Structure 1
């Protein structure tokens, strides 16, 4: 597979994405080969992407329409698309002739969500984004805190708690927990009462 500039292009214009999906990823628009492409097919892909965005299935960005309202085919065709609009405005004004951009990763995600297998998605879209074949996610094994390190942490917590509570930790764990939670709240922190109680019980055994 030949190297393509699309492999390192994070954001595509809608027309570029349409051309790639239509099978014209390698056609240079500045050569005679561009005159042989199926512009209707490219346009249809652009419409499908816009429709998907309207249905909230696909996220597009940098949307532009004509400054003087809706463009229609005929006398107004070719008017500059220089008015930035939101997707809501596209829906409200029923704008069909717009230009937009789309992230290559988002386009790949959308195609996958439509049930299109990777082998049917053009390399210009999927290369660098698909999951490596034959690999499995690493299993995260729970780690156990070294007893010596845990004891060090508990001693440190006990010293700080004694300092914060005036040198004395109440005998009743829940009463002590209430005092600790008040200190935590003062500093914009939070912790469940039962969690505080369990820590207090551990440090009292030191």
Structure 2
């Protein structure tokens, strides 16, 4: 017997709904650009920083070695700078015969070498406050990081470095009339038997060669 086909059920198609717009698309987003806040500067520098590489090194050495604060002393700063210049000079001094003098401990004749060999503050935390390796930090960086008292200390160091770099070596200390070559904090303990005490400024004692002992 043939099957009677079943009546097909009519399917009612539901109307297609359009997806609702997302809130992000329905409402245009406005992105606010907030300007980055610059770190508030600790203090301002109202003096010129040295551009000469050797003067920068000398200023960094003075800053790291000299007395700061209430006991700061311009003579001490000046003599530290002169010691560096004079060590660089004596490092390559030769005798009349052409033989080198016994001053190799002063370095190879460069300012950097004299500092590396004889300035204990080189590379210290105090040095790094104003120096980036062997170059002085930018004015912006210094103003962002130094306190007002440190800026004052740096100003004195820069002024002393200018005096040292302008001097003709071997350069004499204007106060003692002698040529400073080394210094330490002892009351009177020359780094070499060829040297003698010539002055004490603030916390540092300064020494010069004994007469005629520059090469022997």
TM-score, normalising length: structure 1: 0.23
Higher helix proportion, which one? 1
TM-score, normalising length: structure 2: 0.22
